[in-house]
Amino acid sequence: RNGIQRPKGYTVSYHANPEMEKMHFGPKHPMKPWRLTLTNKIVLAYGMHEAMDLYIPRAATSQELKDFHREDYIEFLQRVLPTDNTWDQESGQYLFNTGDDCPIFDGLYTYCSLYAGASLDAARKLTNLQSDIAINWSGGLHHAKKTEASGFCYINDIVLAILQLLLYHPRVLYIDIDVHHGDGVEQAFWSTDRVMTLSFHKYNRAEFFPGTGALDDTGPLRNDSPGAHHSLNVPLHDGIEDDQYIKLFQDIVRPCVRTYQPTVIVLQCGADSLGGDRLGCFNVNIKAHGACVAFIKKFGLPMLVLGGGGYTARNVAKAWAYETSLCIGAEVHPNLPAHTPYLEHFGNEKTLFPKLDSLNRYENKNSRVYLESVVMGIMEQLRYLQG
């Protein structure tokens, strides 16, 4: 119908549960699960569903969540209600770091177990060889810790999915292009050499959440610890441009793959690294963001593709729909199909690739020399892993 055909020689699975999309963090909160509805509408309007195996994933069980998270934290998420007083007098903090960033809303536990279930299902499609690329746009919530919520993330679905992959795969490469540091995933696999984590992000210790992810944050300091040099960080400044971002991504990922020889890649595609994002501060366009997905796909390794941040919903939806098309290897028309539901929501921008207008641009604080020094810093870390 739309000329979208199944990819030849490989299988893509798409894991989306519409129950997720109804959830609300609260009127002023930037995280809007509704962006997933917009994404799925565009994916369907183009006819991309013809080219993938679609799954409505089940919720993860509490036992599965406890594979990473501590029991008392999961039990808290299971029983807590928005009306409960969760202020802890003793510590002077809200329990388990809930609060403004991680509010307790109606259906919170359902929300958490659904996005985690989707990432687990997607990972298992890869390990049982039913898919080569598995996509879950509702996942990618990289800040959640073993015993607490952080930065809009409650359950770390990425850690749970990687733990599944590790049952079958000797080495997992985790790449994170969300504008924030993937601190929860880094911390979870800090001491192992079976997962390499690589995050690209805006870094400013005092002013930008979560304040970690400096270039010299590379794993345990003792050289005899297996995890040493297996956490890689690419700290960036405001305003990075398309060509710089693509070159940096390729110049860093290529040697990481060559040196580490992963058997599977997990890609967190946080869309807050796009220009015009409500929380982000880069000047990256949708085509450049997608170029990272296309570049990873070319390695031909099994791939778990996840969402993450992204706070200007129309751009998030366009980026993730475009990246779905790259996964299935379909060329899509640059204008959204006329029958796309909610088309009016996109205002004057019926194109899949809106140009970043000058009002939304950040001054580029990333010099060529700075970016070269970052690549050199990463290469230095990789040298420890050779031979």
Interface residue list for Zn ion (CB under 5 A):
178, 180, 270, 272, 309
Residue 94's DSSP bridge partners are 87
Closest CA to 286 of 332, 237, 342, 338: 332
Closer CB to ligand V1P, 100 or 224, in the complex: 100
Residues 17-56 that bind ligand V1P (CB under 6 A): 28-30
Q: Which of 121, 272, 277, 323 binds ligand V1P (CB under 6 A)?
A: 272
Instruction: Report, in this order, helix, strand and coil percent for the chain, each rounded to 5.
Output: 40, 15, 50
Going by DSSP bridges, is the β-strand pair 303-306/133-136 parallel, antiparallel, or unpaired?
parallel
In the list Ca ion, ligand V1P, Zn ion, none, the entry touching 50 (Cβ below 5 to 8 angstroms by class) is none
Residues 156-185 that bind Ca ion (CB under 5 A): 176, 178
Taking the complex as a whole, the smallest distance from the CB of residue 209 to ligand V1P amounts, in Å, to 4
Residue found under tokens 């359950």 = 155
Closer CB to Ca ion, 16 or 177, in the complex: 177
Closest CA to 25 of 181, 141, 189: 141
In the list ligand V1P, Ca ion, Zn ion, none, the entry touching 248 (Cβ below 5 to 8 angstroms by class) is none
Residues 79-138 that bind ligand V1P (CB under 6 A): 100-101
Residue 270 interacts with ligand V1P (CB under 6 A): yes or no: yes
Residue 210, preceding peptide bond in cis (omega within 30° of 0): yes
Residues acting as catalytic residues: 181
Going by DSSP bridges, is the β-strand pair 195-202/231-236 parallel, antiparallel, or unpaired?
parallel
Going by DSSP bridges, is the β-strand pair 264-268/303-306 parallel, antiparallel, or unpaired?
parallel
Residue 139 interacts with ligand V1P (CB under 6 A): yes or no: no
How far apart are alpha carbons 278 and 281 in whole angstroms? 8
Using CB under 5 A, list all residues that contact Ca ion: 176, 178, 199, 201
- Binding residues (CB under 6 A) for ligand V1P: these are 28-30, 100-101, 141-143, 151-153, 178, 180, 209, 270, 272, 279, 308-309
